[in-house]
Structure 1
Amino acid sequence: MEKMEQASQPETWFDGNKVNDVLFCEDFLAGHPMKCIHGTFFDVNGAIGDAEQIKAEIYYKIAPYVTSGIAKKATTLLDALRIRCYSPPIPYQTDRIHVANGTYFLSGDFSSQKEFCMNRLPVRYAPDAPEPSQWLSFVGQLLEPEDIITLQEFMGYMLQPTTKGQKMMIVIGKGGEGKSRIGRVLRALLGDSMNTGSIQKVEVDRFARADLEWKLLMLDDDMKLEALPQTNNIKSIVTLEDKTDLERKGRQSEQGYLCVRFICFGNGNLGSLYDRSYGFFRRQIVLTVKERKPDRKYDPFLGEKLIAEAEGIFLWCLEGLHRLIDNGYSFTISKRAEDNLTKAMQDGNNIIVFMQSEGYIRLEKGTHATSKQLYGAYGQWCEDNLEKPLGERSFSNFLRQNEDKYKLTYTNNIALGNGKTARGFKGIHVKMRTGERH
């Protein structure tokens, strides 16, 4: 009925024969203010992820006037809209958080006014929201108290479009503890500003980074234990503070900003085939969950109960964010979490454990050993401990990168006798026990 009335009073963009693209776009945007950034439409509520939704609106708007080729015309008008409302990227605003009912300023002020933004969260800011008792009980069963503080800060960190914290979070458990429920809460807080996917894909798929543009979080709910073949992309994204190259299928690559953070849930540490550097691990916060108590009952409705407390959980996250900012974006890391990271480093690089071993080497001023001698001792340690040795180059590179830590000095002047010299290190010597090969 509405369409018939519309047809009896033609729109200004229809001259009785055809649709005027320019006038149509002006009329459409008057009722649907939008910006198009890197091919994605945005309105005051953030990214409009599905362009097909806009295309459908165009279709029904022109249906009373266009009698043939309507789908093609709708596509043409959608492309015209992209050009008409083109905009450069909107600068990220780190002094405020765009929420469902307005804008929360980190100064503590709140305004019901909405403005164009890259991310508007689906949760409301309600300063009088009740304490999220279900959530607090849940995280209390999941994590130790000192690690709950870290989770609170990281969840607050994800509300703000910045990478100043320069960390990703990995939550490890045996399974069945309920850590995946955190993902459901994060979706309620972040909505379409959160992606779910695979951390491995981000590293190896050259198109994956573009999917993270405008996103505040990428959640890997079931992290694979396969070692990453490389770590360049992940390390770069975690600490990125400038534009990076974003490549999409069938399109010219573009320079864009990423402010996405990573949370991964899994049964083990995130490892790398080749990168044993401290730089890879220092970007990680590793939390381990408590084992599930045998008498703990499974609640199939817990997810819904937690989501119902979203407004209170949001205030809890804001508390963590303010504490993080006050600490200069330095996370509160417990001794337990520090030990978790040390173990992750040791699991990914057994040279670290070898350097702490006894009976094979000694760190001592005034001594020296060739790289070959040291690698031989390392090989013996690996054989004795059923460890797979890393390559000779990886071994030598590790020692050179950690000279300060172990108080070593690299040199190519270790005397072998008969006028020969070899590469090696000062401040360490090989100490082989009785019965060991030399």
Structure 2
Amino acid sequence: MSEQHDEFDFEFQSEFESDWPHEVPYDPSKHASNNAHRFLAARPAPIIVSDDVIYSLDFRDVWLAVSEAQMMAEIRRTDPGIDLDVRKIRSMVAEVKINCRTTARPFQWIKAPENAPDASDLILCGNGLLDLRSMTLIPMTENYFATSIPEWDYNPVAKCPLWMHALSQWLHPSFHPTLQEFTGYLLSPDTSLHAMLCLLGETRGGKGTVGRIQTALVGAAHCAFPAFNDLAGDFGLEGLDDKRLISVPDAHDTHASKRGTAIERLKSIAAGDPITINRKGTKQQLNVKLPAKIVLTANQHPNLLDESGALAAREIPIMFENSFNGAARDINLTTKLLGELPGIANWAIEGLRRLRQNGGQFTIGAKGRAALEDLEVSQSIALRFAAACLEITGDSNDIIPLAVAYAAYENWASDIEGLNPRQRRDKTAFRKDMVASLQKRGVAWADNQVRWHKPGGPKRGIGERVKHRFVGVRLKANAGLSPAFG
């Protein structure tokens, strides 16, 4: 689990037993397993071990991660006579990890009570667990795997007038239901909708404040703030396995060498696919579905090229089109809004319930749909090239040989997009990009031999033999072909 865990402190144990840790009657002549069970029997707070990480229950019924070094230190405090050497203490910790192992992961039931709500229906609040289906608050329990709790209490009658006023200043009304639904989705451990949020727009337009409020609703301990380059690193996913929100603030492009890895990891997390997490030290790799949703924040969307369209298909953009740069600023706005968290939570929960009633379909207004189309095009050089140079007809008689299309692409990429030779795609990559981007728009790929007449030229004879070609598309007039293909 996460290395970014709450600092374990023996003070938490004082709620269980005021004199812990106290002396335990170990027998140094016995093997380590025997002494480990003596330790566990005397310890007032339960222990579980999930994915090779030790957790101790605190007085709030929250499971706090404990390092092996901390566990060894605790055992030593119960052995004031120093009857156990370091080797035996280390072996005792190994036995604890075997004996207390659970298959549960954060935000799941460790042991579900009878008639317990499904874990995906539970919203973690400061004063308990809210069952989204019955809208009843149930007490926090050690049977639920919570590694922290947010700093707001559920109050069904709480309101948020300042929040609603701020949204009216920041966002076009068509974005309000979308943001409301996704913020509610952030509160639930459910990741089945496979969506990620993009907060995009002007400096001092409100997106940063929205991000801070979302972090407070989820709970800061359950949030991570990696950069794109961090996500692409060897250990870029370490510490994310108990997070519910992965917020990428001030998102910008990755280094070219890391872009592909970053994109694939974003897609895997958003899709809820199992993903391999490398962990430092001696810990084994994890292959898990991360319980987090992704929120990107940027002035403009980073240049994450993905010709498959899979990333854009999962993104939900919220455009902050109004900038208040230079206007009088309320430096206490975030603090005031934090005081409305119970009311903002009710607003978000209302959005989540509507989202579920709509079968998991987010409410996307006209501005949101336009933003989605812009995102898809921005992430695909092939789509930008097609928009500029091609006419998609769907007619099987309309074809473009690969060599001709690639020649037009090279001229367009150089003269219009300003791409240098290293940035331009080679012919094989260009073909794959075009197929990935255009096949769902009615363009097909064929490689059987046919006859073809050059566009704009006289159709003498039976035409030139061509094999590799795109079908259902033709070049626009003046599409940037060199004279050899004119």
Q: TM-score, normalised by structure 2?
A: 0.76
The aligned residue for residue 324 of structure 2 is: 293
Cα separation, 2, equivalents of 1:289 and 1:74: 56
Map 1:267-278 to 2 at 5 A: 267-273=299-305, 275-278=306-309
Map 1:14-413 to 2 at 5 A: 20-28=35-43, 31-40=44-53, 41=55, 43=57, 45-49=61-65, 51=67, 55=71, 58=74, 61-62=77-78, 65-66=80-81, 79-90=94-105, 91=108, 93-107=119-133, 108-119=135-146, 121-191=149-219, 192-202=221-231, 204-226=232-254, 228-230=259-261, 231-240=263-272, 243-249=274-280, 250-273=282-305, 275-293=306-324, 296-357=327-388, 363=393, 365=395, 366-388=397-419, 389-402=424-437, 404-412=439-447, 413=449
Cα separation, 2, equivalents of 1:434 and 1:94: 52
> Does structure 1 retain, via aligned residues, the 8 Å contact 2:408–2:479?
no
* Range that drifts further, 11-20 or 345-354: 11-20
The aligned residue for residue 115 of structure 2 is: none
Cα separation, 2, equivalents of 1:306 and 1:235: 32
Cα separation, 1, equivalents of 2:224 and 2:407: 47
> Does structure 1 retain, via aligned residues, the 8 Å contact 2:201–2:320?
yes
* Range that drifts further, 158-167 or 285-294: 285-294
Instruction: Give the 3 Å change call, closer, same or farther, for CA 80–411 of structure 1 in structure 2.
Output: closer
The Cα of 1:169 is off from its aligned counterpart by 0.9
Secondary structure, counterpart of 2:213 in structure 1: helix
Q: Does 1:427 align with 2:439?
A: no
> Does structure 2 retain, via aligned residues, the 8 Å contact 1:54–1:78?
no
The Cα of 1:301 is off from its aligned counterpart by 2.1
Cα separation, 1, equivalents of 2:356 and 2:218: 20
> Does structure 1 retain, via aligned residues, the 8 Å contact 2:392–2:443?
no
Ranges in structure 1 where 5+ consecutive residues have no aligned partner: none
Secondary structure, counterpart of 2:331 in structure 1: coil
> Does structure 1 retain, via aligned residues, the 8 Å contact 2:171–2:319?
yes
- Residue by residue over 1:317-352, the C-alpha shift from the partner in whole angstroms, topping out at 9 and shown as x without a partner, is 111111111111111122212222222222222332
The Cα of 1:61 is off from its aligned counterpart by 4.8
The Cα of 1:60 is off from its aligned counterpart by 8.7
Cα separation, 1, equivalents of 2:279 and 2:196: 24
Cα separation, 1, equivalents of 2:346 and 2:260: 39
Instruction: Give the 3 Å change call, closer, same or farther, for CA 37–50 of structure 1 in structure 2.
Output: same
- RMSD after superposition: 3.6
- Residue by residue over 1:54-98, the C-alpha shift from the partner in whole angstroms, topping out at 9 and shown as x without a partner, is 6498279537x2469999987666555433422122546112223
* Range that drifts further, 11-20 or 174-183: 11-20
Q: Which residue type is aligned with residue 194 of structure 1? A: C
Cα separation, 2, equivalents of 1:425 and 1:352: 14
> Does structure 1 retain, via aligned residues, the 8 Å contact 2:62–2:142?
no
Q: Which residue type is aligned with residue 363 of structure 1? A: T
Instruction: Give the 3 Å change call, closer, same or farther, for CA 152–83 of structure 1 in structure 2.
Output: same
Ranges in structure 2 where 5+ consecutive residues have no aligned partner: 1-13, 110-118, 453-461
The Cα of 1:194 is off from its aligned counterpart by 1.5
Cα separation, 1, equivalents of 2:337 and 2:88: 45
Q: TM-score, normalised by structure 1?
A: 0.84
> Does structure 2 retain, via aligned residues, the 8 Å contact 1:179–1:265?
yes
Secondary structure, counterpart of 1:94 in structure 2: helix
Instruction: Give the 3 Å change call, closer, same or farther, for CA 409–14 of structure 1 in structure 2.
Output: closer
The Cα of 1:221 is off from its aligned counterpart by 1.6
Of 414, 419, 434, which residue of structure 1 is paired with 2:450?
A: 414
Cα separation, 2, equivalents of 1:363 and 1:328: 34
Cα separation, 1, equivalents of 2:23 and 2:226: 44
Percent sequence identity over aligned pairs = 21
**Alignment length (residue pairs):** 427
Cα separation, 1, equivalents of 2:123 and 2:356: 14
Cα separation, 1, equivalents of 2:124 and 2:248: 25
Q: Which residue type is aligned with residue 109 of structure 1? A: T
Instruction: Give the 3 Å change call, closer, same or farther, for CA 346–76 of structure 1 in structure 2.
Output: same
The Cα of 1:156 is off from its aligned counterpart by 0.9
The aligned residue for residue 456 of structure 2 is: none
The Cα of 1:239 is off from its aligned counterpart by 1.1
Q: Which residue type is aligned with residue 386 of structure 2? A: M
The Cα of 1:210 is off from its aligned counterpart by 4.0
Instruction: Give the 3 Å change call, closer, same or farther, for CA 196–72 of structure 1 in structure 2.
Output: farther
Cα separation, 2, equivalents of 1:12 and 1:291: 65
Secondary structure, counterpart of 1:163 in structure 2: coil
Instruction: Give the 3 Å change call, closer, same or farther, for CA 220–71 of structure 1 in structure 2.
Output: farther
> Does structure 2 retain, via aligned residues, the 8 Å contact 1:59–1:70?
no
Q: Which residue type is aligned with residue 89 of structure 1? A: A
Q: Which residue type is aligned with residue 144 of structure 2? A: C
Secondary structure, counterpart of 1:282 in structure 2: helix
Cα separation, 2, equivalents of 1:401 and 1:10: 65
Cα separation, 1, equivalents of 2:137 and 2:22: 43
Instruction: Give the 3 Å change call, closer, same or farther, for CA 34–401 of structure 1 in structure 2.
Output: same
Cα separation, 2, equivalents of 1:375 and 1:310: 55
